[in-house]
Every structure is written in C-alpha cells, then in structure tokens.
Amino acid sequence: MRVHPKQLVTNCVITEDIYSKGLQPIIPKNTVVTPLIQEVLDRFMIQEVDVDDYLEDGMTYFPLPFEAEEDTHEKVLSTPFMEHYHTVVEQYENLYQLWQSGVPLDIHKVRETIIPLAKRIDEHKRDVLLLFKEVTKDRYLAHHSVAMALIASLLAKQSGHDTDWIQVCLAGFLADSGMSKISQRLLRKPQPLVPPEYDQIKKHPIYSYRFVEKCASLSRQAKLGIIQHHEKLDGSGYPMGVKRAKIHSYAKMIGISDSYHAMMSERYYQKEKPLFDTIIEMRQRINHQFDDQYLYQFFYLLEETLKNQQVTLSTGEKAEIIELHLNKDPEAIVRVYGTNNIYTLTQDASPTITAFI
C-alpha cells in the first residue's frame, strides 16, 4: 500500500526503492522502518512510501491517521499568532519534561512543534522581536527557547539564508535543550551563580549537542549552531573556547538572538533591561562576542520593524516611534499622542521608553 511518511510506524517494511534527486535510492526496498529512517524521509521531504500490508513481526499494519498538510495549514493560519506562540511554549515545556526523564529527543515532534509557527514570522516580525513582553521568570526557559528560534530565523532570513533558515530555527529551538540535564535548582536561583554552579550551566551546549548528534534530519551546520551558540569571537566563550574563524554562522546568529531576548526579559536573577541599554551592551561586545556583520543586520531588522511601534514614556505619555537609529549611539524619535510633540530619545536624556505597547 502507499502511505504518507507520517503514517508509518516502527517495523513497517518498505516495498519499493525510495529516490530523491539522484540515481541511487536514498532508502532501498525491504528496509524496515526505524526512527532514523523516518528522519531521513522527513529531511528529504518524501511524500509517499510503498509499504507491505504486514509489519516485520507479522502483525497487520494499520496506517496512522493522517491530516492533510493543507488542512493543518489552514487551521494554523486561523489561530492568532500570539495564541499559537503560547501553545508552542506549552509544547516546549512538555518536551522538556520528557528530556528530563530520559526520553530521547524526537526530531519529528520538534519539527511539528516549531516549524508551523516559524513559517508565520514574516507577517509577524514585530511580535517576534517583542516576545520578551510575554516572559514570566518561572517559565523563562520555554519562552526563551521558542523566541530564540524565531528571532534567529528572522536574522537568518535578513542575512541571506533564504534556503536554510529552518535549520537555523531548529538549532535555536534546541540550543538550550541540554538544560534539562542540569539541576533545575540552578535555573531558578534568584542570586547570581557561584563559579562551580556556573560551570554546570556551561555544560548545557554539550548536552544539547548529544541530544541531536545522531539526528539525520538536522544538518551538521545546525548541530554546530547548537554546540557553539555560547562561543565568543575572542575565544572566551564555552564549551570549547573556539575563536571567530571556527564559529559557524548559525551559532553567531543564535548567539545574538539569545543575548537580545535574554537581556530584554525578566529572569530569576536579573530584571529586564531597557532597549537602549541592551543595544549599547551588545555593541560593546562587537569583535569580542558578536560578529559585527550579523549584529548590524540585527540592528537594521530592529530599526525597520519597530517603526510606528507604540510605546509608553517615563512621563506617562503614549507615543509612536517615528525613527529608530541603533548602529551608533541609540536614538529614537517619537511623536506623542494627543499633543503631537516630537521627542528625541537617547540613552542619557529624559524621557525614556519604559514599555512597548
């Protein structure tokens, strides 16, 4: 019988060679389906597979129910973006609990969780860049992982990764999966970590990499993005201390996305920072932590996306951003609602932006 790969179960027997673009089959007939085979089918986006009516053990094969992608896509589009985002945050928390309990990472489930949301980001760039507003410190890690995936996807597209941005997205989503193998007490500690505790946290990229090391549907580049996302250009990062030339571009983009969302979010041991403080701190790390090529692309993305964004000022007034300049000393020009007064906001001058509406 002919089925969609999503209808397969372990021990199905493939009855015809499966080809992609080459002359040699990517999977030969008589192959028994395993999770690895399902990953290969997923990676090569195979749509149909011929299988036997019986499983390898002689049991009758009953195809899993399959919902057409078009129907699923329509349902996704009819769900408000932020509602969809919060659903994915909950799904990440469920996955995280499985990882904590020792269940191997299911890359199919990961893709089904994050990719439909990620495919909507072009129409919701502002929502993505302001996701820090949704964070509560007790659910920070789940919010952060989803946001890191989406922000890194935007940056990847902005930087010309039009064909491989989904791999960047998956790497961003899974970059902190290794936190599940670390004492959760450390993640909720309200005080700064002492050196031995921080040494434990610094192991999480290795644990994350081990989760995905054998995932056939995750590219080598994505795996490098995961293990290297805390490396720094000057070699002072972790876990390997590699320098600029050996840090993959995926890791550089994920690192920027990670730092931006982390600094703008409320965490157990640190309050959220204002936008200008975040931008200045990131600029100070150019050529030490961040690659200027990607950081300036990110700043441009912020400048273009946050035009016309409504904000609350320290005066209590509501205003609209007319212009935003971040590549040098941060500056925002805003128009106050009601009075039409124009303010030029800088790091040192009053008023300041206290909230994004």
- CATH number of the domain where residue 20 is located: 3.90.105.10
Q: Which of 54-68, 181-195, 329-343 has the lowest mean pLDDT?
A: 54-68
- Do the Cβ atoms of 276 and 330 come closer than 8 Å? yes
The residue from 66, 87, 109 where one domain ends is 66
User: What total number of domains does the chain contain?
Assistant: 3
Is it the case that residue 70 has pLDDT exceeding 90?
Answer: no
pLDDT tens profile 223-262: 999 999 999 999 999 999 999 999 999 999 999 999 999 9
* Residues 292 and 312 reside in one and the same domain: no
* Residues 337 and 247 reside in one and the same domain: no
pLDDT of residue 161: 95
The residue from 263, 279, 304 where one domain ends is 304
* Residues 200 and 273 reside in one and the same domain: yes
* Residues 209 and 165 reside in one and the same domain: yes
* Residues 177 and 131 reside in one and the same domain: yes
pLDDT tens profile 192-225: 999 999 999 999 999 999 999 988 889 999 999 9
pTM above 0.85, yes or no: no
* Residues 208 and 273 reside in one and the same domain: yes
pLDDT of residue 66: 74
The residue from 42, 66, 90 where one domain ends is 66
* Residues 287 and 318 reside in one and the same domain: no
- pLDDT band at residue 36, thresholds of 50, 70 and 90? confident
* Residues 285 and 252 reside in one and the same domain: yes
* Residues 59 and 108 reside in one and the same domain: no
* Residues 133 and 245 reside in one and the same domain: yes
Residue-range definition of the domain harbouring residue 58: 1-66
* Residues 34 and 93 reside in one and the same domain: no
What value does the mean pLDDT of the chain take? Answer: 93
Q: What is the CATH number of the domain that holds 186?
A: 1.10.3210.10
pLDDT of residue 89: 98
Q: What is the CATH number of the domain that holds 315?
A: 2.30.30
* Residues 78 and 163 reside in one and the same domain: yes
